[in-house]
Structure 1
């Protein structure tokens, strides 16, 4: 269905948009401008929205705010915010009455006029998505970046041309109810995550699989051969399955061999670039490049890939170098909202680091984190709700040798202690292994707050 046809199909219908955050505002404004009867629903009180509430009403929107924001949910079409489960009682009751439940991303898949390339996984999504988008741009493509990165694309669909490419980062929440899959799908890896929202790990995996289960024979899905779950998923691919591996050679895909990144297909192989071409630190970033190359193979030249890798310094909040102060390097890895992400960050450095960690607990195990912290950390500073479980994972690990652990109130205290204890050549890194929602709206706000503290150090 074309974009204009979809908008026309909403005429005469009532539409509810749940969530008035930044990601849904372009959609609400687009529908209102087209004369669609829109009810914007949000748990926030009116004062939290500021002048925007009045602006929406001026556009003809009805507002339903506060604790009862889902009361009277009878609209014909309901746009779910990604963080809301589709089976909450109010949504389930509305669907039972005949309402159509959808989302901004689901409709985008339906109306997007150009090929879609999408990335999901537990770790590495944003960096891999960014690498893919920038590689395609270097090859002359017009790229529309969206999903969990960039900005909402549905309201801009009218400006997208068939020869363009949409590159998306997709979360498990966005994928839960997806009935379409991208032309090229990438799963970076899978490990327990977001179990505070998903019923269990099986549901989380099932949501992620929607990125490839609706593909056709002409589509491509890229899987991590080094991850047991994604390696098994490759066997169920609907189209062409490509693998990437840092540890072993693969028949169709991209792998690392003797420090060289090799692409192989139909028995033919070539060296794309070397491991040393990658400016980003850490083996996990090698994996991010392997995944990205497997996805764009044939669309971007090897020379363009190598040139980009030599210049790309990374994405904000992902092992981001904040500053070097008296020979001590300070890093912001606020994106690390899970133990596996922090583990990858710690392994990116050859030396032992001073680690600042802790945040909100999302119901996952921290057992795997403890041994790695003991091997890679010289001083551990903990704050937030998960401080206790992280400390327990470290102290109960078999390789615990009395690592010094200090509980701190906030990042100011953590930075002061790290500043006092760090010597020239040391690394201090914020890598929380937990979500930010105990004290911050998101990992970006958390990272910015930490950067402000570090940049203020004298």
Structure 2
């Protein structure tokens, strides 16, 4: 089915779009342009939407705003926003009245004319997605990069060609009710995350599984052999299953032999690149490259993979160098919204760091983080809703004997100021919060930008 074959029957019908944000605004515009009567729903007030409100009304959309934005939801089709559970009462009631409840991503999978490579996981999915896209582009392919990484892809479907590639980052929220899977599915790893939204860890894992459960013969599912959960899930695959590992030599996939990334398939093996070729710091990024080269085996020449590794400088907010001041290096790792991400970030450095952490509580235990803090941190600066829980976990860690020193601050600005005052030449300061940003910021991007602004304002 093409995008026009999907849209044509909707002309003259009503579509409710829940959430007027980054991913859904282009969807609203697309539907309006194609003669669909759009009801744009959002919890924000008209004032909070600003110029976007009259712009959408000019296109023909009817706005349904405020706290009661989900009340009496009546439409032929309802597009839920990725962060909304599909079983909220308003959506269940709409279904009972005959509405089709779907999402921008679900429809994209139905109409996409080209090969879809999907990436999910608890950590590393954005970087892995970006590496895959960079390698394909370097090989001369036309690539559409989107999904949870920030760009909605449905509006691009009409210009996609069969020989193109859609590289899609998929969150657990997007996958929760998906009934389609990509041709190549990559699962980087799984660890407790988003337990403030998911009922429990079992539901979180079940959502992630949709990236491969609907695959067909000829499709490929790629798993991290080193992660207990993903290794167990790989046993359920009906498509071709491939693995990547930095600890073991796998029979079909990529692995690390000494300092060399090796690809093995059909009884043959090839050296792809050296760890020294990878510009991004940290062994977690070696894992990201292992996943990427497995996904692109046969699609991208190895020399192109190597050159990409040598030149790709990473994605904003992911161990991003910000500035060196008085011999002190400052890094923005705001993407680290879970303990496992922060652990990976700490392991990217060879020396102990000054760590800025804390934020919104996603109900993830901090006990696994504590020994890594004791091992890798010389000064721990905490703020936010989870500061008490992180401090408690560190102080109760068996290896903690008063080091690192723990300092409490009221805001990110205070954290930066304290780090600036305490750091000496040769130190590394990293914002790697282990928590989401929602207690003080709209998202991790806003938090990271605020951090960089504060750091850039510091004097020499």
Residue 457 of structure 1 corresponds to which residue in structure 2? 458
Residue 317 of structure 2 corresponds to which residue in structure 1? 317
Deviates more, 1:99-108 or 1:58-67: 58-67
Residue 48 of structure 1 corresponds to which residue in structure 2? 48
CA distance in 2 between partners of 1:82 and 1:151 (Å): 13
Deviations 1:33-54 (A, max 9, x none): 1111110000001111112212
Q: 1:302-451, aligned counterparts within 5 Å?
A: 302-403=302-403, 404-451=405-452
Match of 1:185, SS state, is: strand
Match of 1:211, SS state, is: helix
CA distance in 2 between partners of 1:179 and 1:75 (Å): 22
Is contact 1:13-1:37 (8 Å) kept? yes
CA distance in 2 between partners of 1:423 and 1:167 (Å): 43
CA distance in 2 between partners of 1:434 and 1:412 (Å): 17
Task: Provide structure 1 residue ranges, at least 5 long, that are not aligned to the other structure.
Answer: none
Match of 2:340, SS state, is: helix
Is contact 1:128-1:288 (8 Å) kept? yes
**What is the TM-score when the length of structure 2 is the normalising length?**
0.98
Residue 209 of structure 2 corresponds to which residue in structure 1? 209
Is contact 2:107-2:154 (8 Å) kept? yes
CA distance in 2 between partners of 1:101 and 1:249 (Å): 44
Is contact 2:12-2:35 (8 Å) kept? no
CA distance in 2 between partners of 1:26 and 1:196 (Å): 28
- The offset of 1:248, in angstroms, is 0.6
Deviations 1:164-222 (A, max 9, x none): 10000000000001000000000000000000000000000000000000001100011
Residue 68 of structure 2 corresponds to which residue in structure 1? 68
Question: Please, what is the CA RMSD of the aligned residues?
Answer: 0.8
Residue 143 of structure 1 corresponds to which residue in structure 2? 143
Is contact 1:327-1:423 (8 Å) kept? yes
CA distance in 1 between partners of 2:353 and 2:12 (Å): 60
- The offset of 1:150, in angstroms, is 4.5
Q: 1:92-131, aligned counterparts within 5 Å?
A: 92-131=92-131
CA distance in 1 between partners of 2:423 and 2:43 (Å): 44
Residue 173 of structure 1 corresponds to which residue in structure 2? 173
CA distance in 2 between partners of 1:269 and 1:262 (Å): 7
CA distance in 2 between partners of 1:388 and 1:349 (Å): 26
Residue 200 of structure 1 corresponds to which residue in structure 2? 200
Runs (4+) of structure 1 exceeding 4 A deviation are none
Q: Count residues with an aligned counterpart.
A: 458
Match of 1:41, SS state, is: strand
**What is the TM-score when the length of structure 1 is the normalising length?**
0.99
Match of 2:144, SS state, is: strand
Is contact 2:353-2:377 (8 Å) kept? yes
Residue 23 of structure 1 corresponds to which residue in structure 2? 23
CA distance in 2 between partners of 1:197 and 1:99 (Å): 24
Is contact 2:2-2:158 (8 Å) kept? no
Is contact 1:329-1:426 (8 Å) kept? yes
Deviates more, 1:54-63 or 1:369-378: 54-63
Task: Provide structure 2 residue ranges, at least 5 long, that are not aligned to the other structure.
Answer: none
Residue 232 of structure 1 corresponds to which residue in structure 2? 232
CA distance in 2 between partners of 1:401 and 1:256 (Å): 36
- The offset of 1:424, in angstroms, is 1.5
- The offset of 1:412, in angstroms, is 2.1
Is contact 1:223-1:242 (8 Å) kept? yes
Deviations 1:249-283 (A, max 9, x none): 10000000111100001111111011111111111
Residue 85 of structure 2 corresponds to which residue in structure 1? 85
CA distance in 1 between partners of 2:32 and 2:412 (Å): 43
Is contact 1:214-1:238 (8 Å) kept? no
Deviations 1:89-134 (A, max 9, x none): 0100111121101000000000001010010000001000000000
Residue 57 of structure 1 corresponds to which residue in structure 2? 57
CA distance in 2 between partners of 1:420 and 1:37 (Å): 57
- The offset of 1:20, in angstroms, is 0.6
